Amino acid sequence: MSSLEIRDLTVELGDRIILKNLDLSISSGSFAAILGPSGCGKTTLLRSIAGLITPRGGAIRFGKQLVSVSSLVLPPHKRNIGYVPQEGGLFPHLSVEENVSFSLGKKTSKKERDELVEELLDLVGMPNYQKRLPQELSGGQQTRIALARALAMKPAMILLDEPFAALDQTLRAEISQEVVTLLKSSKTTSIMVTHDREDALVSADIIALMRDGQVVQSGSPSEVYLKPISAAAAESTGDILTLPANKIEGNQYLSPLNSPVEQIGQRAGYESGQILVRPEEIALNLEPGERRVSAKISKINYYGHDALVELNFAGLAQVVRARVTDTKGLEVGSNIFVSHKGPIRWVPEKATDQ
Amino acid sequence: MALKRLRFITLALALSLGASLLTGCASQKSESLVIYSGRSESFISPFLNQFTALTGAKLDVRYGDSAALAAQLLEEGTNSPADLFISQDAGALGAISEAGLFAQLDQQVLDRVEDKYRSSRSDWVGITGRARVFAYSPERVKNLPNSIDQLTLPIYRSKIGIAPTNSSFQAFITALIQSRGEAAAANWLEKLKANDVKLYEKNSQIVAAIDAGEIDLGLVNHYYLWEVSKALGREIAVANGFFAPGDTGNMINVAGAGILKTATNSQVSLDLLTYLLNDEVQREFVKATYEYSLVLTDAYPVGLPPLREIPSPRVDLSLLANLSKTQALLIKVGLI
Amino acid sequence: MSQEGWARRQSRPSIALLVASTIALLAASLPLFYLFRRAIDAEISEISLILFRSKTLEILATTLGLTAAVTALSTLIGLALAWTLFNIDLPFRSALQALVILPVAIPSYVFTYSWISLIPGFKGLWAALFVLVLATTPYITLTTLAALRRSDWSTYEVAQTLGLNGLQIFVRVTWPQIKNSVAAGSLLSALYVLSDFGAISLLGVDTLTRAIENIYRGSFDRSSASILALILVAISALVIRLEERSRQRLHIIKSSNRIIKRAKTNDKLKVKLIALFGIGSYLALGLAIPLFQLLSIFLANSTSINYSLLFKASISTLIAACLGALIALTLALPVGVLSAQGSRLGRVSDKAILIVHALPGIVMGLALVSFGSSIPWLYQSLLLLSFAYALLFMAKAVGSVRSSVDRVPKNLIEISATLGLPKSATFRRVVIPLATPGLLSGTLLVLLAAMKELPATLMLKPIGFETLATQMWSYSSIFRFNEAAPYALLLVLIAAIPTFLINRPDEGDGIGGDQI
C-alpha cells in the first residue's frame, strides 16, 4: 500500500505530446478514478505509472520511493504494481490457476500456491475455476481473474484500465460493485481509468478529471460533481447547463434564471463568466412567484425514474433542460415558471486549468 | 503439451550431441586409412574388405561423386584427413595432381600399367580402363559408322544421342580438340548439332533410349550396356561398336587412384594400391564391372576385343583435368 | 538514491539476444565469406569471361524465368488449394489438408526420377516447370492455410452482410489478411527453385545452380564457380527484397479471446465436385503417381531388402536432421525475435539467413569443408553435418519465428512485466509458449529439408554414417533404382510424420497451427 505522487509528468509518443506537465496525488489506500473522454491520455498515464512507458520528463513517486524521474525509469517488473488491462489480458496458454499464480516465484511451495489461488478465486467470486482456460470464460470472469492475478503479488498499487468496458449494462453494475468493494476492503491503493462517469462517481474515493493530457481537477466525487472548476470539468461528471452571466454592475451578475449571482467577488478580474447549472437544480412550478421566470415547454423526454424537460426562455437562444421526477401537469407547448434551487456556480469564461 | 514436446526434443539434442562428439573423435585412429572413393561402395567395398582381412588395416571410406570429392580435396588442401583418393575418371585425378596434393608414387606401382594410363607427374595410376564406343541397335543400324565424321551424315539424322554435360563426353571432345584442333572440333560439333543430335543428361539414358527405340545410336562408355541391362533386369537390344583404328571416338579413359601428401599412413596406402593392381584383383574387377584391366592383357569384358586391340588414339589423360576450354566450345556451339 | 536496476530506455533488446543473433549472423556469413575469398582468387580476365559470355546471360534468363514462373504458378495453385480446403465443406477435409502438404516430403530428385521413368523423353524447361511447381506448391498451401485459420472469421461475415460476393470478399477482405503469409510461402518456393539441383540436372535445364555444378565438375575451378554463386546470392537478395517490400505490418486483432466459430457451410454438390477434382488432380500428380512409380520400380525387380541397413539409415537420418533442426531453431530464434522487434541487427541477420538459403548444397558443403577441415575434432563430425543443415535450411524457420513472435500480443508481455517478471522470464514463460506452434512448424520444415539433403551430406557426414538420402544415392548412382526405391519410400514415409505435425488441422484455430 502506498500513495502516489506525480509531478510535472510529460509523455511523448512519436511526435505527439500525450501528457503535458501532469500533476496528480493519490493517498495511500484510496480508490481513485481517472475520468476523461477517450484520447485524453488516461491510459498513457496508467501505463506510465506501471512503468510501461518512458516519460520525457517529470517524476513519479510511490510513497517515498521515486520510480520515475526524467527519462530514468524503474522497469515495470520492479515496481510491484498490479495491472489489470482492458479485457483482462489473461495468458491464453495458461489455466486460470496458472494465470493467478503467475507472479509467484519458485520459493512459493505448491501448497501455499494452491491455497493462495483458492483464496483469491473465492475473493473474486469464482471458486473452483482453477482448471478452466481463459477462452472458456466470459468477459466479466476474465476481468475478475485478471484482478485475482494482480492481487496475488500483493501489489503496492492496482491499476485498472477500463475494467468494465466490455461488460453489458446489467452485468456491469453488479461486477463493478463487487470489484470495488473487494479492492476497498483490501485497502490496496487502486487507480481505475474509465470514460464512464457513473463508474467513477459510484466507486471512487477520489476522482481525477483528465482533459488533453492534463488533470484538470481532482477531489472527492461530490466535490468534483458539485464544484466543477470549468464547464468542461462539469461536463465530465454529468449533464450540465452553461448559461451566460449577465453583468449588472460592479461585481453583480444576474443569471438568465433571474437569480442573482452573489459569490463572485473572489473571481474579480474576469470580465465575463458562465453560470453552470445541473438539470436537477432547476425547479419547475406551475404557478408564478418570486424569482420565477416564465418559460415554454418544447419537449419532454420521459425516462421512467425521471424526465428531462426542454425549456425555451424569451431572449435566450439556448434550450435549457431541467430534470424532474414528476411530470404531472407538464405539457409540451404550455408555459411554466422556473426557479433555481441549487447553489450558484460561476466560472470565468476563459477559465483554463489552473 | 507443446512445451513437453519441446523438452523431449531438447533431450534428443543432448543425446545426439554426445553421440556426435564420439563420432568426431572415432576417426582419429592411427592404424586406419581414410579413403575418398568416387567409385561406388557396392563395387569397391568387397575388395577393400578383402584387403582389411589380409592386412588388418582398417579402411574408412567416404563415398561420393568423383568430381565433388576432388573439389572437396582441393578445398581441404593440406588439412585433408584423406590418405588415398580413388576416382572414376582421370580428370578428377589430374585436378588433384595439378594442385600438387598427390605424393609421388613408387615406380614399381606405376610400372604395373602402361605409361599412357598413368600420371605424367608420376603421382597417380590408372586401375581400370573404360572405352568410348558407339552403342547401337543391331536391328536398326545395318551400316556401322567407321569414323565419328560419318555421324554427321544425313542417314543418321535425328538418330544419334549424346550426353554433352557428362564428363566422359567432354573428355572425348577434349581429345578431339587435342588431335584435330579447336576449329575442326567445333566444326564437327556444329555439323552434329545440325544433324539434329538428341541430347541426354546421362550415358545410361542414351542406352535406354536406344533400347526403347527413340534413337538408333549413341556415344557412350562401353560398360553402360551391362549397367542398363542390370538395372532393367532383362536383356536389352543394344550392342557396342568401335570406329576405325585411331579414331578419337575410341579413346580410353581410366579410373585410378593416387596417394595424398597428407596421408598419415603412406605405406599402407601404397600396399592398397599394389593390391588393387594385383593380377587376381584385376581379374575380379573385370568380372564385377565389365571394365578393362590395365594390367592384364587377357582380362577384358565378354564380347569385346582386348584392350590392346581397341584401335584407340593416344590421348594425354592429364589434359582432362581442365575441361573449361571444352565446355566453352560446347557452350559456343550451343550443346550445353 | 540507488540507481541499481534502473533503465534509461526500455525498448533496448537484451544483450543475450544481441550476442546470439550476432552468432547467427556470423554463421550465415560463413558461406558468403567463403565465396568472396574464392572469387577474389579469380583472374580479372576469367571473371569477365564468365560474366560476359552470352551463355551466362542465357543461364540468367533461364534461372530468373523459371524462378518467376514456378513461383507464380505454385502461388496460384497453393492459394487455390488452401482457399478451397478452408472454405468448402469437403468430405475428409482434415485428411486432405494434410495430404496436399505431403509432396514437400518427396526429394525433388526422387520426384523427377519417377516422372522420367514414367514418361520417356520427359525433360527440358517445361518438365522442370511442371516438377518444381508440384514440389513447391505445398509451401504456399501450408502458409496460406495457416493464415486463413488465423484470420478473423467475423470480418467475412461482416463482408457478406455488406453485400460482397465471394470474389470480392477474397480480394478485399481475405487477401489483405493472408497476403504476408502467402508472400512468405512464395519466397520459400522461389529460393527452392534457385537452389534446386536434383530436378534441374535430371531434366537438363541450365540454371545458375547447374552451371555452378558444371564448373566444379568440368574444370574444378572453384573461383569461377564462386563468381556464379555470388550472382545467385545477388538474385536471391533481390527476391528477398521483393518479398520484404510486399510485406506489411498486419494488425489482425481478434476481437476477443472468444473465437467466433465459422458456421458450417452448405456448398452445392457441383462446387464440391469441382473442388475435389482440383485437389484430386494435384494429389495424383504430386503424390500418388510418383509414389506409385517408386513402388512399381521396386516391385518390378524387387531384391531382398537389408532391413538392418534400412533401419540404421533411418535412425541416422532422423538424428542428423533433428540435430540440424534444433541448431537452426537455436540460431533462428534470437534472429526472429530481434527482427520482430524491428532491430537492425535482427533484420540484417534475417536477410543473411535467407540469402544463404538459395545456395546449392555443394557450395555450402565446400564452404564448410574449407572452414571445418582445419578443425580436426569438428571436421566430418555429426555436429558439423547438422550445422550445415542448419545453415542451409534455417531460413525456413526464421520466417515463422519472426511472425509467430511478432504475433504474441504486446499487452501480455507488458502484463508479465507488471507481474514482476524480468524480460528473460517473460520471454520464457509468455513469448516462447505462445509462439511455440509457429516455432515448432518452422523447425519441422527444417527437419524435412535436412532429411532430404544430399550433396553437403556426402561431404560432411562422418565416415560410415549413412542417411536414407546417401543410401539412395549410392544405389541409384550405379543404376540400382530398384534397390534405391525402398530408401526413397521410407524417406517419404518418415517425412510424412513431421508433415502431418506441421499441419494439424484440428488444432488449427486460435494461436495454434501457426505457420510462417
C237–B contact, CB cutoff 8 A? no
Burial group, residue B208, by CB count within 10 angstroms (0-12, 13-18, 19+): buried
Q: Domain map of chain A by residue range?
A: 4-236, 241-348
User: Which of C431, C463, C507 should be substituted to probe chain B, the one whose Cβ sees the most B Cβ atoms within 10 Å?
Assistant: C463
Say whether pLDDT at B102 is over 80.
Answer: yes
Rounded to whole angstroms, what are the CA distances from C316 to A16, C226, C311, C382, C458?
Answer: 59, 31, 9, 10, 13
Is C261 part of the contact surface with chain A (CB cutoff 8 Å)?
no
pLDDT in tens, C447-472: 999 999 999 999 999 998 999 999 98
Per-residue pLDDT tens over the stretch A215-247: 989 999 988 888 888 888 888 888 888 877 666
User: How far, in whole angstroms, is CA B17 from its chain's centroid?
Assistant: 37
Please check whether residue B321 touches C, CB under 8 A.
yes
In the prediction, which pLDDT does A238 show?
Answer: 85
What are the extents of the domains in chain C?
A: 15-248+267-507
Q: How far is CA B218 from the centre of its chain?
A: 18
Rounded to whole angstroms, the Cα distance separating C445 from B125 reads: 46
How far is the CA of C359 from the CAs of C32, C209, C212, C368, C397, in angstroms?
Answer: 10, 8, 10, 13, 16
**B235: which 3 cell numbers?**
536383356
Contact by Cβ (8 Å): B179, B332: no
Residues of C in contact with B26 (CB under 8 A): 462
How many alpha carbons lie under 13 Å from residue B291 in its C-beta half-sphere?
24
- Shortest CA gap A202–chain C (Å): 27
C478 in contact with B at a CB cutoff of 8 Å? yes
DSSP state letters, A133-195: -GGGS-HHHHHHHHHHHHHHT--SEEEEESTTTTS-HHHHHHHHHHHHHHHHHTT-EEEEEES
Which among C2, C257, C412 is the top mutation candidate for probing chain A, defined by the most A β-carbons within 10 Å of its own β-carbon? C257
Is the domain B33-129+253-310 a CATH 3.40.190.10 member?
Answer: yes
Of the partner residues C203, C319, C369, the one whose CB lies closest to the CB of residue B16: C319
Q: Looking up cell 506441421, which residue turns up?
A: C502
Q: Which fold is adopted by the domain C15-248+267-507?
A: MetI-like fold (1.10.3720)
- CA distances to A24, A32, B38, B167, B239 from A41, in Å: 14, 16, 73, 75, 90
Q: Is the pLDDT of residue C483 over 90?
A: no
Cα C362-C365-C370 angle, rounded to 5 deg: 125
Where exactly are the structural domains of chain B? Answer: 33-129+253-310, 130-251+320-333
A74 Cβ contact list (under 8 Å, min separation 6):
A51, A67, A68, C5, C6, C7
C56 alpha carbon, distance to own chain's centre: 28
Q: Which residues pair with A308 in a beta bridge?
A: A301, A323
**Mean pLDDT score of chain B, rounded to an integer?**
86
**What are A300's strand-pairing partners?**
A309
Weakest-pLDDT range from A179-183, A288-292, C367-371:
A288-292
CA distances (Å), C66 to each of B315, C194, C210, C229, C453, in order? 40, 9, 13, 17, 22
Task: List the single residue in C with minimal CA-CA distance to B23.
Answer: C381
Contact by Cβ (8 Å): C330, C391? no
Q: For residue A134, give the nearest of C257, C418, C420 by CB distance.
A: C257
What is the DSSP secondary structure assignment for residue B254, as one 8-state letter? E
A4-236 and A241-348 agree in CATH topology: no
What is d(CA C48, CA B83) in angstroms, rounded to the nearest whole number?
37
CB A76 to CB C3 under 8 A?
Answer: no
Task: Give me chain A's average pLDDT, please.
Answer: 83
- For A91, the closest of C8, C418, C430 (CB atoms) is C430
Per DSSP, what are the bridge partners of residue A210?
A215
Residue from B75, B64, B318 nearest C225 by CA: B75
Give the amino acid at A324. Answer: V
Q: How far apart are CA A217 and CA A267, in angstroms?
A: 18
Q: Where are the beta strands (DSSP E) in A14-150?
A: 16-26, 31-35, 57-62, 65-69, 72-73, 81-84
* B11 in contact with C, Cβ within 8 Å: no
pLDDT for res A89: 87
Looking at CA atoms only, how far is residue A23 from chain C in angstroms? 22
CA–CA separation, B101 vs B97, rounded Å? 6
Dihedral sign of CA atoms A151, A152, A157, A160 in order: negative
- Residue found by looking up cell 555470388 in the block: C230
Q: Which of A172-181, C181-190, C199-208, C499-508 has the least mean pLDDT? A: C499-508
pLDDT digits (tens, 9 = 90+) for B248-305: 899 999 999 999 999 998 899 999 999 999 999 999 888 888 899 999 888 888 778 8
Q: What is the CA radius of gyration of chain A?
A: 24
pLDDT of residue C504: 62
Nearest to residue C350, comparing CAs of C335, C334, C330?
Answer: C335
Phi then psi for C362, rounded to 5 degrees? -65, -35
Average pLDDT in the B124-150 region? Answer: 93
A13 touches C at CB < 8 Å: no
Helices (DSSP H) in C42-53: which residue ranges?
44-52
At B10, the pLDDT band (50, 70, 90 cuts) reads very low
Identify the burial level of C149 via C-beta atoms within 10 angstroms of its C-beta, where 0-12 means exposed, 13-18 middle and 19 or more buried. buried
Subunits adjacent to chain C (3 or more Cβ pairs under 8 Å): A, B
Query: How many Å apart are CA A336 and CA A294, to the nearest integer?
Result: 6
C257 touches chain A (CB under 8 A): yes
φ/ψ (deg, to 5) at A317: -70, -30
CA distance C483 to C471: 9
Amino acid at B202: K
pLDDT surpassing 90 at residue B96: yes
Per-residue pLDDT of C68-115, as tens digits, reads: 999 999 999 999 999 999 888 888 888 888 889 889 888 888 888 888
pLDDT tens-place string over residues C181-218: 899 899 999 999 999 988 998 888 889 998 888 888 87
B117: nearest Cα among B93, B82, B148 = B93
What is the Cα–Cα distance from B120 to B97, expressed in whole angstroms?
Answer: 10
ipTM of the complex: 0.86
Residues of chain B numbered 159-198 and touching chain C (CB < 8 Å): 165, 167, 170
Query: What pLDDT does A256 receive?
Result: 62
**What single-letter DSSP state applies at residue A108?**
S
Check CB contact under 8 Å for B12 and C478: no
Q: With bands split at pLDDT 50, 70 and 90, how would you rate the model's confidence at C513?
A: very low
Check whether A259 has a pLDDT greater than 70.
no
Rounded to 10 degrees, the C-alpha dihedral A42/A46/A48/A52 comes to -120
Query: Which residues partner with C483 through β-bridges?
Result: none
Q: Are B243 and B250 in contact (CB under 8 A)?
A: yes
Q: State the nearest Cα–Cα gap between C433 and chain A, in angstroms.
A: 7
Q: To which CATH superfamily is domain B130-251+320-333 assigned?
A: Periplasmic binding protein-like II (3.40.190.10)
Q: How far apart are CA C509 and CA A135, in angstroms?
A: 12
In angstroms, the CA B123 to CA B130 distance is 20
What percent of chain A stands above pLDDT 90? 23
- The burial of A104, by beta-carbon neighbours within 10 Å (0-12 exposed, 13-18 middle, 19 or more buried), is given as middle
Distances (CA, A) of C232 to A95, C25, C31, C59, C347: 50, 19, 13, 11, 21
Residue A80's closest chain C neighbor by CA?
Answer: C420
- pLDDT value at A353 more than 50: no
Cβ within 8 Å of residue B291, ≥6 positions away? B128, B129, B130, B223, B255, B285, B301
A49 HSE (CA, 13 A, CB side): 34
The full DSSP string for C113-152 is HHHHHHSTT--SHHHHHHHHHHHHHHHHHHHHHHHHHHS-
Sequence-ordered list of residues with C-beta below 8 angstroms from that of A324, at least 6 positions apart, any chain: A284, A306, A307, A309, A330
Helix (H/G/I), strand (E/B), else coil: C82: helix
Per residue in B180-210, pLDDT (tens digit) is 999 999 999 999 999 999 988 788 889 999 9
Pairing of strands A189-194, A157-161: parallel
Question: Length of chain A, please?
Answer: 354
Contact assessment for residue B253 and residue B129, using Cβ atoms and an 8 Å cutoff: yes
Q: Could you give the maximum distance between any two Cα atoms of chain B, in Å?
A: 75
pLDDT given for residue B21 in this prediction = 42
Closest residue by Cα to residue A190 from A172, A204, A176: A204
Give the Cα separation of B176 and B170 in Å (integer).
Answer: 10
Sign of CA dihedral C411, C414, C416, C419: negative
Assigned CATH for A4-236: 3.40.50.300
Q: What is the CATH number of domain A241-348?
A: 2.40.50.140
CB B104 within 8 A of CB B122: yes
**Cβ contacts of residue A246 below 8 Å, gap of 6+?**
A253, A254, A255, A256
Using a CB-CB cut-off of 8 Å, the residues of chain C touching A150 are: 418-419
**Tens-digit pLDDT profile for residues C246-302:** 876 554 444 333 344 455 556 778 888 999 999 999 999 999 999 998 888 888 766
